Chain A
């Protein structure tokens, strides 16, 4: 009893006023749904049941289209697959509803896996076309495969029996309500776990996500499968609910309708699909005189909402009441977020590049470059603009594959590994052009960095049991502590794109440190920072080094580099000019020539 009470207290104390209001609204909404059958007409009850069925689907669609940012216009196809799986099992094999439902979810989930496969290579309008094509294929097959689906004539289903009795209209409504609440709860728990953060990270910035250790392939597929499972469940429920299905229900227009609900409501929020689905299912019932114009209105609504209200109704509310997103800081933030990484390596070499070359078309950006980064040092890479410094970081982190050469980290070959594998091997990075996850809060950005530290599986997170909760707590505390270290703790609840570019650079460092890397690659961290911030950056790098974390730094502020570095490598035109301690490099005539030019050198 005691822990329960403490949890309750902490919810109350750690919520902002806006969040408390939201809780009240949510509880009132659930209560009115519970009480509805007692007050509304049976016609309206049917409408509410349909809304609940749609809501299961749109909540699923929101996972893939809203959170993960992969537009699916084939959801009606998955819905149809769910409906027909349930119907065919019930009609042809006499399977009871309670087994049809999971079967429909499994079958639709498998199709979601197939539909998601192309996302490994394409996204955007390509994906839109693929999903539209998928929907049309399903529609045609449902019509043509008459022996199985009954063709255009459709299929009639038996009702649901419960304890030997037929389920009444009201009984069905409550069944839908329970399943719908369950769907919302499960979805909410997933999107608020590290799974959900990975989804949003993919939506906001794929390359940064993969450099944080997020496996793009499996997370995109997971999102597709989750949304397909829910579409399948909704389809099966619809089939048993309407007792008759035919292919003309599961058409492209329905897919657009589903997408419209989440756009209007607000994609990427739990409340978005709820608001959108209720609005677009119930309101048209009061506008029957407009029926001839219904699709025209939908079309206009689609245009108006993407232009005028791109984040939907919930987005508009969030902009109006920013307090809705609020993370209370933990009671005491630990001062030392960094784990000790000092250990002995064979000949002390952490990272080794051997004869690496990289061609872009006819241009040789990196030319037979070799370098060894010693463990525990601050190793800087300097060179004029266009020398190939960032290309080198992209090669190390797997964003680019070198044309020839070898990259070894802790004695392991990194070649042909995807960025997420390299990130998990212990290499963290920041980006020259800042790449934060714009729509995640500052705190969540850092927590994405901790992605690779999570071991709990999706079931742990759906039910928020032990392991998942502990890991989340730990990552949360570490993120706060890292934010305190870079001085951003009072911006924790704000979206990352509201920070200045200098602050975003510091945020990127905190995010990379959350990965607990052995090697930290900093690509021009001081660019856009003012003097005080640069001083702070120097302190941070000092603290990182003290913990035995190796730093590989690209920077143009030469004084800063000279102060902080143990070793400096100079790169020019993709080739290594020289390497050595700061004083050696500073006095090297080649370096002076590369930076300042000589009298004989041609004008740039």
Chain B
């Protein structure tokens, strides 16, 4: 049981890490980047190139990968979201476009690196340590800690700083935000940069657990969306809680069904959560204005 919960916490923190980055983009644009899973995957693949193939230290490799994925996230913004202008919520063009970008990223990665998943060095030592009688990798603890720190960072940025207010203002009314002398474009770019950097970190943290390969985030990416929604889109606290919750519930469900159904259970939880409480645990429901 405890083993399951710890395994669930590890996967949960990964989902949370994705959810946090998905959230930061939602906070400023009101949309979901459906290519986010693929950005994470690219982070992992850059890790393979920089750390495994070129022998850079993990931390150095992670910083460089953060920069690279952030650049790709910005390109993604200009090619799939920017063309739809200010009124993003009125159509779902961006949804299709980001989905399309995800397909491109994944298949280009397959062309370059092949489909074979590869091992990836973990953070910290490779020796198992004993926590409450369960043997785990230090990497798993690192994953949880880093996710938690990023969640706190985003909460502080969004709720306590001027930048956070400007980001949220951008989401609610772009023209009014412009009239306040805030560059909407810069806010959106700042968020895509942060989101890309966090995606790269996620890639480095996930790869040692699931192996690095173009398909590594095929379902994890979707669960990241699920986690963000379960917690309540726009809330960093919610993203963290939603991710952990989804991970633990998914792990616990393994006591009842065979492992092959794991993804099915996770998506069932997501569907139920969206249907029952679309505003999420930490979100607020608003009455639609006419």
A residues bordering B, Cβ < 8 Å? 71, 117-118, 121-122, 124-126, 128-130, 132-134, 136-137, 140-141, 143-144, 207, 253, 256, 259, 263, 292-293, 295-296, 298-303, 306-307, 310, 360, 390, 394, 399-400, 431, 433, 435
B100 at the interface (CB under 8 A from A): yes
In contact, B97 and A303 (Cβ under 8 angstroms) = yes
Report the number of A-B residue pairs with Cβ-Cβ less than 8 Å: 124
Cα A298 to Cα B229 in complex, Å, equals 28
Most B CB atoms within 10 A — which of A128, A133, A295, A298? A133
The 0/1 profile, CB within 8 Å of A marked 1, for residues 201-245 of chain B is 000000000000000000100100110010000000000000000
In contact, B104 and A300 (Cβ under 8 angstroms) = yes
In contact, B95 and A128 (Cβ under 8 angstroms) = yes
25 CB < 8 A contacts A-B:
A71-B92, A122-B278, A124-B89, A124-B95, A125-B31, A129-B225, A129-B226, A136-B264, A136-B267, A296-B103, A298-B100, A299-B100, A299-B104, A299-B107, A300-B100, A302-B97, A303-B79, A303-B100, A303-B104, A306-B96, A306-B97, A307-B83, A307-B93, A307-B97, A310-B91
Cα A140 to Cα B264 in complex, Å, equals 6
In contact, B222 and A132 (Cβ under 8 angstroms) = yes
In contact, B89 and A296 (Cβ under 8 angstroms) = no
In contact, B275 and A144 (Cβ under 8 angstroms) = no
Cα A394 to Cα B290 in complex, Å, equals 8
Cα A117 to Cα B276 in complex, Å, equals 11
Looking at the complex, which one of B229, B261, B271 makes contact with A140 (CB distance below 8 Å)? B261
Given contact pairs A143-B260, A299-B103, a sample of 4 additional A-B residue pairs in the complex whose CB atoms are under 8 Å apart: A133-B267, A133-B268, A302-B99, A302-B103
Cα A197 to Cα B43 in complex, Å, equals 47
Give B219's nearest chain A residue, CB to CB. A136
Looking at the complex, which one of A122, A256, A307 makes contact with B274 (CB distance below 8 Å)? A122
A58 CB, nearest partner CB in chain B, Å:
15
Decide if the interface of chain A is mainly helix, strand, loop or mixed: helix
B287 at the interface (CB under 8 A from A): yes
B100 CB, nearest partner CB in chain A, Å:
3
B12 at the interface (CB under 8 A from A): no
In contact, B275 and A141 (Cβ under 8 angstroms) = no
Looking at the complex, which one of A126, A256, A390 makes contact with B278 (CB distance below 8 Å)? A126
Residues of B within 8 A of A300 (CB): 100, 104
Give B31's nearest chain A residue, CB to CB. A125
Residues of B within 8 A of A299 (CB): 100-104, 107
- Chain B, range 237-290, C-beta contacts under 8 Å to A: 258, 260-261, 263-264, 267-268, 270-271, 274-275, 278, 287-288, 290
Cα A299 to Cα B100 in complex, Å, equals 4
Residues of A within 8 A of B107 (CB): 293, 295-296, 299
Cα A207 to Cα B290 in complex, Å, equals 8
Give A133's nearest chain B residue, CB to CB. B267
Cα A303 to Cα B290 in complex, Å, equals 32
A597 CB, nearest partner CB in chain B, Å:
27
Cα A130 to Cα B222 in complex, Å, equals 10
B162 at the interface (CB under 8 A from A): no
Cα A206 to Cα B97 in complex, Å, equals 24
B1 at the interface (CB under 8 A from A): no
Most B CB atoms within 10 A — which of A125, A259, A296, A302? A125
In contact, A360 and B287 (Cβ under 8 angstroms) = yes
Give A206's nearest chain B residue, CB to CB. B288
Most A CB atoms within 10 A — which of B83, B95, B99, B258? B99
In contact, B92 and A124 (Cβ under 8 angstroms) = yes
Residues of B within 8 A of A133 (CB): 222, 226, 267-268, 270-271
In contact, A134 and B275 (Cβ under 8 angstroms) = no
B32 at the interface (CB under 8 A from A): yes
Looking at the complex, which one of B111, B271, B288 makes contact with A130 (CB distance below 8 Å)? B271
Looking at the complex, which one of B92, B267, B287 makes contact with A137 (CB distance below 8 Å)? B267
Cα A130 to Cα B89 in complex, Å, equals 18
Q: When A and B form their complex, which 8 residue pairs have the shortest distance between CB atoms, in order from nearest?
A: A302-B100, A299-B103, A133-B267, A299-B104, A140-B264, A144-B260, A118-B275, A306-B93
B80 at the interface (CB under 8 A from A): yes
